[in-house]
Structure 1
Amino acid sequence: MKAIFAGLLLTLGVMSAAQARQSAPVIDWIDIPVATASGKPVKAEQVREAIIAAGNGLTWEVHSNPNGKGLVATVLVRNKHTAVVNIPYDATKYSILYSSSINLNYEVSNLDVYRQMAPNDKSPDGIRVIHPNYNSWVNNLRMAIQRELNKL
């Protein structure tokens, strides 16, 4: 019986370690400066249109945030994984912030491996972690927004 219990504990430990390797700290992009190729200042509406165009070009659905602050973008990948981000913006900056997800293993973790990966995150509740593809999708959205802003 002890051998079975020890085997179960070992299996659970290996599974936890495997999940730790498969997750990454959530990256929020905060106060990204609005920069255009021309260097000219833009209006908030132009930033909004650039965000919408960028999202639509990458299959993100972009809508007004129901709370009236910025936009909400949702991506559905392979009809299985969903990520939702909030995008507050004005004429000088915008942010891309995690809101929710489905099938991306989001959790708040206190594992030391995540604390080492995100040393600037001082949250006492733990580090927000997610499947690493989430960060790639959001970074792609950020780069697409910049490409749209460069057109202004």
Structure 2
Amino acid sequence: MKHLLIALCLLFGLSTAAQARQAPLSDPATINIGRQLDDTQIKNAIVTGAGQVKWQTREAAPGRIEATLDVGGGKHTAKVTIEYTPQMVKIRYLDSFNLKYETVSDGRIFIHPNYNVWTARLAAAIQTQLNQQQPGQVVTTPLAE
């Protein structure tokens, strides 16, 4: 009986420790633009904001940018797709490396909690840049090749 109790305590302790390194994947809420900005202004706001929080960007298609965050010299990588229209910007998970991404049997998705922090910072930086854009103002920021 004593061995069973010890085994249960160890199992619970290891299970709790593993869960602490994962959280439900939660992409940021859609950013509503709320004013008349053109595609170039929106794209520039995304690229500038992403760069400020160390995300590398590339245009994947019209209205879609892929952004990659490399942490620890390749030790951890997060990749998102950023879709945009004149009305909104949406950030969604695309891929990751070494971030404990896992889909469980009931369809819930878990990932290292830092992913949620990093994408929240990305969204906030993009929102800040969008707020600084003035209708009709054109400023260009090159995308990474």
TM-score (norm 1): 0.75
Match of 2:88 among 89, 93, 97: 93
Structure 1 residues 69 and 90 mapped into 2: Cα distance closer, same or farther (>3 Å)?
closer
Answer whether contact 2:101 2:109 (CA < 8 A) is retained.
Answer: yes
CA distance in 1, matches of 2:11, 2:32: 44
Q: Distance in 1 between matches of 2:87 and 2:63?
A: 15
Task: Provide the C-alpha distance between the structure 2 equivalents of 1:68 and 1:12, rounded to a whole number of angstroms.
Answer: 49
Deviations 1:49-102 (A, max 9, x none): 10001111111100012x555010000011111000010101110111011111
The root-mean-square deviation of aligned C-alpha atoms, in Å, is: 2.4
Superposition pairs of residues 68-79 of structure 1, within 5 angstroms: 68-79=62-73
CA contact (8 A) 1:33 1:92 kept: yes
Between the two proteins, the alignment pairs up a number of residues equal to: 132
CA contact (8 A) 2:65 2:81 kept: yes
Alignment match, 1:19: 18
Q: Any idea what SS the aligned residue of 2:90 has?
A: strand
Provide the C-alpha distance between the structure 2 equivalents of 1:57 and 1:18, rounded to a whole number of angstroms.
33
Q: Which runs of 5+ in 2 are unaligned?
A: 134-145
Q: Which of the residues 104, 124, 133 maps onto 2:114?
A: 133
Could you tell me which runs of 5 or more consecutive residues in structure 1 were left unpaired when the two chains were aligned: 111-124
How far residue 127 of structure 1 moved from its aligned partner, in angstroms, is 1.1
Q: What is the TM-score when the length of structure 2 is the normalising length? A: 0.78
Amino acid in the other structure paired with 2:100: N
Whether 1:64 aligns to 2:45 is no
Q: Is the 1:30–1:97 contact (alpha carbons within 8 Å) kept by the matching residues of 2?
A: no
Please say if 1:53 is aligned against 2:48: yes
Say if 2:55 and 2:67, in contact at 8 Å, map to a contact too. yes
Shift of 1:21: 2.1
